């Protein structure tokens, strides 16, 4: 009987210990962090994707004595995109406003300045405070162009790193 326990019991115990050692190494927290994927500047205008090369995007934070903190984010690619907003903290939302330099919480995409009936809402998903930090803004809504034609913006996303803080 002792021989039988030694023959089957010890290998079985060693097998269980080996599985525990191997299994515990699979759940290690020593994995590298996921790759940073904050590199998108795009939106859909009437169902058509408009996107910009993130390498050509400049993002700045201003700390202005008169109006407080605000973001200026732009690209000179193609027709470009210029975004300005005094909302800067996580989960803040604001409507579009053509008056950029106000203490009210507003957002602005410059191409909307020539539109009318602009009903676009901006949301700060991730705010930033320093160079190298990611800022992520979403936006969507409707507007009429100068000819009175209605347009819809969906899936608007600005996600980039801050280049300069003033």
Residue 31 pLDDT exceeds 50: no
What pLDDT, on the 0 to 100 scale, is given for residue 28?
A: 46
Query: What gap in Å lies between CA 35 and CA 134, rounded to an integer?
Result: 13
Give the list of residues 6+ apart from residue 129 with CB closer than 8 angstroms, or none. Answer: 61, 165
pTM for this entry: 0.73
Instruction: Give the model confidence (pLDDT) of 67-90 as tens digits.
Output: 788 999 998 776 788 999 988 999
What pLDDT, on the 0 to 100 scale, is given for residue 106?
A: 84
Task: Evaluate whether 156 touches 34 at the Cβ level (below 8 Å).
Answer: no
Query: What gap in Å lies between CA 30 and CA 81, rounded to an integer?
Result: 40
Average pLDDT over residues 146-154: 94
What are the tokens at 147? 């000819």
Task: Evaluate whether 82 touches 109 at the Cβ level (below 8 Å).
Answer: yes
Q: Work out the mean pLDDT of the chain and round it to a whole number.
A: 82
What pLDDT, on the 0 to 100 scale, is given for residue 20?
A: 52
Q: How confident is the model at residue 115 (pLDDT cuts 50, 70, 90)?
A: confident
Query: What gap in Å lies between CA 122 and CA 117, rounded to an integer?
Result: 16
HSE-up of 84 (CA within 13 Å, CB side)?
17
């Amino acid at each position: 009987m002792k021989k039988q326990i030694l023959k089957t019991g010890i290998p079985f115990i060693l097998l269980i210990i080996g599985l525990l050692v191997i299994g515990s190494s699979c759940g290690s927290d020593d994995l590298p962090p996921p790759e940073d994927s904050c590199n998108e500047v795009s939106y859909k205008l009437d169902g058509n994707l408009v996107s910009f090369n993130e390498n050509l995007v400049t993002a700045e934070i201003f700390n202005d004595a008169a109006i407080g903190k605000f973001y200026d984010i732009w690209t000179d690619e193609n027709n470009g995109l210029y975004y300005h907003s005094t909302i800067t903290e996580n989960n803040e939302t604001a409507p579009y406003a053509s008056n950029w330099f106000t203490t009210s919480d507003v957002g602005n995409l410059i191409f909307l300045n020539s539109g009318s009936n602009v009903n676009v809402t901006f949301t700060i998903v991730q705010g930033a405070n320093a160079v190298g930090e990611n800022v992520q803004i979403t936006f969507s809504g409707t507007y009429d162009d100068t000819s009175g034609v209605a347009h819809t913006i969906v899936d608007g996303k600005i996600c980039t790193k801050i280049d300069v803080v003033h």
